[in-house]
């Protein structure tokens, strides 16, 4: 059962198209896995559409008022243009590609459709951790697929920026509990955790700065923290 979701403010910004592409993709993937958030997003879209339509009605009313004062000069021309637009019945044909599949050992994982058109680099592996960078160029913001093999862990760390994690397959645990596919987590410098997976997991991760490791020998990883994600 999905326990962690994007908040209403994020969903509204998603509907309004106000988010960076990487975060929008993460939310779109979450919506494929979470019927509750998909329903809430549909409601937000209807509310935004109703608001936009009301604004258009006001603009149309103002335009009609202006046209009434210059009907002879613009009325016929505007009506002809509107008729041409509304008479155009051409439509673009779109095809939906099948979702990508990833294979790890004898396990096959099907990615959400939201990720199916995004290019990705080859997986780079270090121990039980493998990472593929997604081709979303957004400056300091990086988007990756992160696979942790069974029994793998990431040493305790916090974040110098933010870390958005969407669990796509498998499960992992940290000090706050256990996460299942569809769980959407947003962490920043106020959080520290030690993710561990017993059976392996695949996550979509979006970060805008390096991890910061907190304890023991793991502190030696801080100079290369940016390379891990």
Residues 29 and 110 in one domain: no
In this structure, are 159 and 188 located in the same domain?
yes
Residue in the structure block whose two tokens are 């326990």: 3
* One domain, residues 118 and 212: yes
What domain range is 143 assigned to? 101-228
Asked if the structure places residue 1 within a domain, the reply is: no
Query: Model pTM?
Result: 0.75
- The whole-number pLDDT of residue 49 equals 86
Asked whether residue 148 falls in the same domain as residue 223, the answer is yes
How far apart CA 190 and CA 192 sit, in angstroms, is 7
Which domain CATH number covers 219? 2.60.120.10
167 close to 143: Cβ distance less than 8 angstroms: no
State whether 178 and 150 are in the same domain.
yes
Q: What is the CATH number of the domain that holds 35?
A: 1.10.10
* 3 state SS of 91: coil
Length of the chain: 229
Per the CB < 8 A criterion, the answer to whether 131 and 146 are in contact is yes
**What angle, rounded to 10 degrees, do the helices at 35-68 and 8-16 form?**
50
On whether residue 94 sits in a domain, the answer given is no
Domain match, 218 and 152 both: yes
Instruction: State whether 133 and 193 are in the same domain.
Output: yes
Give the pLDDT confidence score for residue 95 in this predicted structure: 44
Number of domains making up the chain = 2
Helix, strand, or coil (residue 29): helix
| Whether residues 119 and 30 fall in one domain | no
What pLDDT tens digit does each residue of the chain (229 aa) get?
Answer: 899 999 999 999 999 999 999 999 999 999 999 999 999 999 999 998 888 766 555 455 555 545 555 555 455 665 666 566 556 554 444 444 556 899 888 889 999 999 988 999 999 887 888 889 999 878 888 899 999 999 998 877 777 778 899 999 999 998 888 999 999 999 887 777 788 999 999 999 998 876 666 665 455 455 555 555 5
């Amino acid at each position: 059962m999905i326990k962690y979701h994007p908040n209403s403010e994020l969903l509204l910004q998603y509907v309004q198209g106000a988010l960076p592409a990487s975060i929008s993709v993460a939310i779109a993937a979450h919506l494929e896995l979470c019927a509750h958030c998909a329903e809430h997003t549909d409601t937000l879209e209807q509310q935004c559409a109703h608001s936009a339509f009301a604004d258009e009605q006001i603009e149309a009313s103002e335009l009609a008022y202006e046209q009434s004062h210059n009907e002879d000069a613009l009325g016929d021309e505007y009506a002809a243009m509107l008729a041409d637009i509304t008479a155009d019945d051409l439509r673009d044909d779109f095809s939906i590609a099948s979702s990508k599949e990833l294979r790890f050992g004898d396990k096959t994982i099907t990615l959400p459709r939201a990720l199916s058109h995004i290019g990705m680099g080859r997986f780079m592996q270090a121990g039980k951790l493998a990472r593929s960078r997604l081709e979303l160029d957004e400056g300091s913001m990086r988007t990756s697929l992160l696979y942790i093999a069974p029994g793998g862990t990431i040493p305790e760390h916090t974040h110098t920026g933010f870390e958005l994690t969407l669990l796509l397959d498998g499960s992992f645990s940290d000090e706050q509990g256990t996460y299942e596919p569809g769980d959407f987590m947003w962490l920043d410098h106020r959080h520290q955790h030690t993710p561990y997976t017993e059976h392996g997991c695949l996550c979509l991760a979006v970060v805008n700065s390096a991890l910061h490791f907190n304890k023991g020998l793991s502190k030696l990883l801080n100079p290369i923290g940016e390379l891990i994600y």
